[in-house]
Amino acid sequence: MNLIENISQAFASLWANKMRAFLTMLGIIIGIGSVIAIMTLGDSLSGSVSDSMAGLGVNNVTLSLQSKQSRGNSRIFAMMGGSGSSIDEKHLITDAMLDDLRETFSNELRAISLSYSIGSGKTTAGSRYANLSLIGSNEEYAAANNLSIMNGRFLNDRDNDGSKKVAVVSDRLASNMFGGQNPIGLQITLTVGDHTAVYTVVGVYRYEAVSMMGGQTASDTDISTSVYIPLSVAKKITGRTGYQSATLITQTGVDSSAFTENATRFFDKYYSRNPDYGVTMMSMESMMDTVTEMLGTIQLAIAAIAGIALLVGGIGVMNIMLVSITERTKEIGTRKAIGATNGEIRVQFVVEAVIICLVGGAIGIAAGVALGALGAGLLGTPASASANNILLATGFSMAIGVFFGYYPANKAAKLNPIDALRYE
């Protein structure tokens, strides 16, 4: 009996026992479907996170102050953007340090983005209002954070040197407060905590919601967007002059890893005698690798747990093949009596086990891709089903069929034809 006949007979056997075949496949379907769904969802999240982080600038290097007691968690620390708590002024990074940095790395460093978060507040005008987060920044902040200016301009050196009361607002805030009117040159009253002041709008940027785990929940009216004012004005409001963090933008083509190491050594001369704090630096490329690695580890761990269902499914295939061989003992005896070899009998039942696993695997792949796409849609990320994962799942299905089908097939091949023909 050739391979085509074996495959045809395997399908005929499955069709003759449809319910039993489906129940046998169920473990394979659940196992393969779970793994594919998890891998699809994991790939979608990894792609979404990578795209979001890449959008922040592949040449960016994050510079942050960190407690020396937590140096072992530097990667996580840098990804979270600093210590998260107020640091005494004497420990902060100063303008003099940054000026020295610019001079030392003049051929590698393109810009340094600086900012102060002042707090959350709102602006009101009659019945109109808008929630906001007030941020002081320098001219280079826009390039580091890929702000897209739709109207007017971003803050410049003259605004900072003169401590001008000017502001750059989002298109959402401009729409809420000014309707269809051009906001450039108009005044807006900003209130954040005890600070209330009138600023002149000089620019409008396009607001883009950053959300990797679903869409924006706030309405267009209640959504809070950032308002940018000169860094010098922010310093006067907060009373602080140093920085906990900064974003360094390197020139195109600069090796970010080498630059990060050299710049870290540069800051060591300022903080080597500081017992409490030191500087941690991490490139955006390194952050992306770290996040991808973390997501991949979690993804594989969950997929491994889901893969236990494949083991259960394989045992189910072995069990049903043993039952099938018992039921077809006389058929096996007849085939051996008319000249079928042990090898032909063995191949027949191995092929049947492989077909069961392949059909179950195909159903599982389809279900897994659908569930993965559904999960990615609920999380607001584009679905990404990897062809490699699908091919791996298909190969794994065949391997399960061969592994768990060989023992029953070998048992069938070793049956004595006389005993098999007399079996009732």
pLDDT at 220: 59
Q: Give me the amino acid identity at 93.
A: I
Cβ(176)–Cβ(129) below 8 Å: yes
Inter-axis angle of helices 387-413 and 308-327, to 10 degrees?
30
Other Cβ atoms closer than 10 A to 31: 27
pLDDT at 86: 67
Inter-axis angle of helices 308-327 and 329-337, to 10 degrees?
60
pLDDT at 82: 41
pLDDT at 380: 72
pLDDT at 232: 94
Q: Measure Cα distances from 397 to 33, 143, 317, 390, 393 in Å.
A: 11, 50, 11, 11, 6
pLDDT at 80: 43
Helix/strand/coil for 295: helix
pLDDT per residue as tens digits for the range 365-405: 888 888 888 887 787 777 767 777 788 777 877 888 888 88
pLDDT at 85: 47
Q: Measure Cα distances from 296 to 199, 277, 288, 386, 392 in Å.
A: 47, 32, 12, 14, 16
Residues (pLDDT < 50) of the chain are 74-85, 211-217
Q: Measure Cα distances from 369 to 14, 23, 304, 328 in Å.
A: 25, 21, 17, 37
